[in-house]
């Protein structure tokens, strides 16, 4: 079972999802057809997972794949983070967990944060860097001030090769990698963060219990 989470954090996860919604998706976002359950069929306009998607953990006996489109400056994503970590621990053997970037245009440092995380990922430090982003979110988020120096400091703290990090941050291909995730998200109908896909189906979540039940059912098939 999920360990007991701080109630305020769990409530924040579901409460915080709504404010992120209007900031994200352009008008051309793809439509998704309801299945009458907590899952909605995703558009076939783009793949939910690509070969280069950031895999948090690969299940050795995979029965399901949970994909999260996320923004490191999004409060809802931060609130969801411990929930996802609990699920990762519980279903490590049967559920593969994947992240895809979806920085929201209303968050001034979300793209900068995503570029920093992707640059770290190129040195095998994806998880360490994104954890750092959520741990310190209140210190750097929701300001028009460029936080690139702050994120560079995080890379130094992690012991990364700073020459390689700086090169990756400056490389247009790093940003293009993130923008490709955003394009897929828009094509799939993602309109806010966090948005979860379970085996290619969009999850419509209202409670923590529903989230766990959906994952548990998929992992049990």
8-22+29-220 homologous superfamily: Glutaredoxin (3.40.30.10)
Q: Which residues, at least 6 apart from 118, have a Cβ–Cβ distance to it below 8 Å?
A: 101, 126, 168, 174, 177, 178
The mean predicted confidence, pLDDT, of the chain is: 87
Q: 204 exposed, middle or buried (CB, 10 Å; 0-12, 13-18, 19+)?
A: middle
Instruction: Please state, in angstroms and rounded to a whole number, the distance separating the CA atoms of residues 28 and 9.
Output: 33
Q: How confident is the model over 73-100, as pLDDT tens digits? A: 999 999 999 999 999 999 999 999 999 9
Domain coordinates of the chain in residue numbers? Answer: 8-22+29-220
Q: How confident is the model over 12-71, as pLDDT tens digits? A: 555 554 434 434 444 343 444 334 445 555 556 799 999 999 999 999 999 999 999 999
How many other CB atoms are there within 10 angstroms of residue 3's CB atom?
9
Provide, rounded to the nearest whole percent, the portion of the chain with pLDDT above 70: 80
Q: Which residues, at least 6 apart from 110, have a Cβ–Cβ distance to it below 8 Å?
A: 71, 72, 73, 74, 103, 104
Q: What pLDDT is stored for residue 205 in this prediction?
A: 87
User: Computed from CA positions of residues 191, 35, 99, 17, in that sequence, does the dihedral angle turn out positive or negative?
Assistant: positive
């Amino acid at each position: 079972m999920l360990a007991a989470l701080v109630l305020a954090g769990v409530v924040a996860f579901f409460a915080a999802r709504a404010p992120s919604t209007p900031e994200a998706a352009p008008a051309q976002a793809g439509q998704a057809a309801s299945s009458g359950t907590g899952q909605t069929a995703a558009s076939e306009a783009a793949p939910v997972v690509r070969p280069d998607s950031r895999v948090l953990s690969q299940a050795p006996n995979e029965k399901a794949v949970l994909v999260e489109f996320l923004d490191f400056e999004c409060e809802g994503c931060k609130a969801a983070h411990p929930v996802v970590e609990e699920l990762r621990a519980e279903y490590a053997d049967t559920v593969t967990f994947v992240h895809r970037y979806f920085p929201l245009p209303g968050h001034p440092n979300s793209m900068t944060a995503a570029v920093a995380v992707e640059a770290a990922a190129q040195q095998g430090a994806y998880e360490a860097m994104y954890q750092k982003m959520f741990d310190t979110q209140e210190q750097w988020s929701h300001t028009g001030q460029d936080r690139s120096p702050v994120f560079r400091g995080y890379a130094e703290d992690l012991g990364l090769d700073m020459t390689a990090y700086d090169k990756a941050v400056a490389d247009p291909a790093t940003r293009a990698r993130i923008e490709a995730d955003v394009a897929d998200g828009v094509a799939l109908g993602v309109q806010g963060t966090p948005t979860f896909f379970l085996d290619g189906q969009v999850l419509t979540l209202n409670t923590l219990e529903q989230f766990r039940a959906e994952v548990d059912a998929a992992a049990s098939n």
